[in-house]
Structure 1
Amino acid sequence: MATLLTQAEIESALPELPGWAFTDDRLQLTTELASFPAVLALVAAVGEVAEQRNHHPDIDIRWRTVTFACTTHSAGGVTQRDVELAQQVAALLAEA
């Protein structure tokens, strides 16, 4: 089982994750893109990364707005895998 990060470890990771917040035992980002197709393209790219890592975010799509939530359900909170996935999502968003 993955090891949960401490509050201090999570807080130290957040400056490297623009727009992300720690809430409800998860890293979460809500962002708006220019169009619905742009949101779908981002979600597809995140899906590919998630499959490669075998670690998947919760994703909520509302027209041009998408929310990503990273948590390790089996561990009951945020682990290093979630920070790494959030970094990947942030990199893909920067390219979008």
Structure 2
Amino acid sequence: MPNNDVITQDELNTYLKELPHWRELPGAIATVYQTRTAAEAIELFSDIAGAAEMDNHHPDVDWRYNLIFVTTSSHDVGGQITTRDIALASKISERAEALGAKPRIDLIGTVEIGIDTGNPEAIASQWAAGLGYKFLTDGSLADPNRRRPAIWFQETRTPNDNRLHLDVWLPDSESQPVLAELEASGVGADAESAPAFTVITDSQGNRFCICTEAGRWPDAG
């Protein structure tokens, strides 16, 4: 399918104002709904499947008792967000609201694995072969079934001693309580690049980043 329905960052920001239950994650938009019962969650799951079949555009849906986690992206154009994702998100929200499902913005998020390296090309294919991952257009690796964490390579001439770290992606609107709890626990926090990401160092020197969409992706359109 041609990529003429890929939207720009400015367009996405405008669309998300009309989709208050959805947030941006790397290459996708996501939401979480909580129903009163597991049976209602199954009904919502079925409604989402029906909408996806009608649009011939299928999101990733994870059912956990009375919680439905939904992520949608257009994989046929390299994991970018398109007008198809926006249209599907709107339909999903309509069905969730009709069922009385509660949006759980606080549960939206994902985790990626970052690897510090001075030469990504030298190791990327090895990780892809070992995990059965595929390359994305930006050089990162993704699980073809989109169940396991993505891997990206942080090119640096001075890799950290511990070259692997986690990127914990949260909506910017939900990141402050997490950062406050981390600060209270006594970790080290480098907020130089916040709110795009805050580097957290635990008491044993291990690192992870709290990442948000804010200030992250310039508009390429």
TM-score interval w.r.t. the shorter chain? over 0.9
Residue equivalent to 2:111:
none
Q: Report the counterpart of residue 77 of structure 1 in structure 2.
A: 80
CA distance in 2 between counterparts of 1:90 and 1:60 reads 16
Q: Structure 1: state its 5+ residue gaps.
A: none
RMSD of aligned Cα (Å):
0.9
In the TM superposition, 1:12-51 aligns within 5 A as: 12-51=14-53
Deviating above 6 A after TM superposition, structure 1's stretches of 4 or more consecutive aligned residues are none
Larger proportion of helix: 1
Which structure is richer in relative contact order (CA contacts within 8 A, separation 6 or more)?
A: 1
Q: Where in structure 2 are there 5+ consecutive unaligned residues?
A: 100-221
Identity percentage of aligned residues: 26
TM-score (norm 1): 0.94
Equivalent residue pairs, number: 96
Structure 2 counterpart of 1:52, from 45, 51, 54: 54
CA distance in 2, matches of 1:83, 1:55: 11
Deviation for aligned residue 1:86: 0.2
Q: Distance in 1 between matches of 2:28 and 2:35?
A: 22
C-alpha distance in structure 2 between counterparts of 1:33 and 1:24, whole Å: 26
Of 3, 7, 10 in structure 2, the residue corresponding to residue 8 of structure 1 is 10
In terms of fraction of residues, the more strand-rich structure is 2
Aligned-partner Cα distance in 1 for 2:21–2:97: 11
**Bigger-Rg structure (1/2):** 2
**What amino acid is the match of 1:29?**
T
Residues 4-42 of structure 1 show CA distances to partners (whole Å, capped at 9, x for unaligned) of 211111110001112100112111001211111101000
Distance apart, 1:2 and its partner CA: 3.1
SS of match in other structure, 1:45: helix
